[in-house]
A = this chain, B = another copy of it.
């Protein structure tokens, strides 16, 4: 099977154990994660040969990030080494009416100082069928945006399928350019777009507010996005209804230019870890589109996979195709397998 390539940042995440607040913790649990690396791990867990491309410092923590990726079978052959530090982020888990809290400490990370030419994209895309990138990467720095474009140009030339998760983060984009100056050129090369109305507004000034309903808004966004980006074949989004920090409802929807296809609704009544929910949705979507014959199956797989992610500690979705398919087929019961 031909490879999938993902490109972006992987960070070390530090979080207080249990429900402790930052001010109470005497230790941090360590996991590793990032938009594009989480997608890569999902795909590797689903049996897709995958390479994660990034830049990591040549120290113990850069090496540790590589070890974590290798553990899950993600290829690390094309990761550039260099730069001063690994990006970090701190996560305080929420509960009920107290929301979770993220403190980023990712400035000056190795990938923020990446330069064109550091990655040999022709070599990376040899025998590849799919390239995925996240809207977080061009938000980090001008250099990271440059390398994104460099990768996209090569991928497009080679006729590789391209997907993106728009992933708007307001705290980034502080290197002097607005997303609307950068993102259109990047997104127009994509076949698959994950994202919603808010990012569409911020990135492309697409205004699709439908006063009558959220669904109306979403449908309008999809249609306008596909209008704006004619290369796109699929626009998808996850649907999260936040009851509290401990209980979310979850679903997904896909627009293929012809119709809107919705996945079943899941009640995630006892969230274990919601970080990486969107990335696991993206990973499931790529797997679904690569594997199933129908878009319904693809969005169903994507939604079930990301539903399971919420029950697993850490950023990554340690669930496997048989488990996702069991849930996808309607077994929500969570019985003990013995």
Contact = CB atoms under 8 A, between A and B. Distances in A.
Interface of A: 14, 17-30, 59-61, 63-64, 67-68, 70-73, 84-85, 88, 90, 92, 94-105, 107-108, 169, 171, 242-247, 266-272, 274-275, 307-308, 310-314, 318-319, 323, 327, 332-338
Residue from A26, A101, A310 with most neighbouring chain B CB atoms (10 Å) = A26
Residue from A68, A333, A334, A336 with most neighbouring chain B CB atoms (10 Å) = A334
Given A28-B14, A98-B323, A61 B103 contact: yes
A336 B30 contact: no
A272 B20 CA distance: 10
Contacts of A105: 85, 88
Q: How many copies does the complex hold?
A: 6
7 closest Cβ pairs, A-B complex: A245-B334, A102-B338, A100-B336, A95-B311, A22-B60, A98-B311, A246-B270
Given A22-B61, A97-B311, A244 B334 contact: yes
A11 to B, nearest CB: 12
A244 B272 contact: no
A99 B29 contact: no
Contact of A332 (B68, B244, B337): B244
Contacts of A275: 336
A104 B108 CA distance: 14
A60 B22 CA distance: 7
Contact of A101 (B104, B108, B327, B337): B337
Given A70-B73, A333-B99, A26 B23 contact: no
19 contacts: A18-B313, A19-B313, A26-B29, A27-B29, A28-B28, A60-B103, A68-B71, A85-B107, A88-B88, A96-B311, A98-B319, A99-B336, A100-B335, A100-B336, A100-B337, A242-B334, A245-B311, A245-B334, A247-B269
Contacts of A30: 25-28
Contacts of A28: 14, 27-28, 30
Nearest to A270: B246
B95 A270 contact: yes
B336 A274 contact: yes
A105 B14 CA distance: 15
Contact of A26 (B26, B61, B244, B270): B26
Contact of A244 (B20, B90, B269, B313): B269
A318 to B, nearest CB: 5
A67 to B, nearest CB: 5
Contact of A19 (B266, B272, B274, B336): B272
Contact of A21 (B23, B99, B310, B318): B318
Given A14-B28, A23-B63, A27-B30, A336 B94 contact: yes
A73 to B, nearest CB: 6
Given A61-B103, A72-B67, A335 B245 contact: yes
A106 B101 CA distance: 23
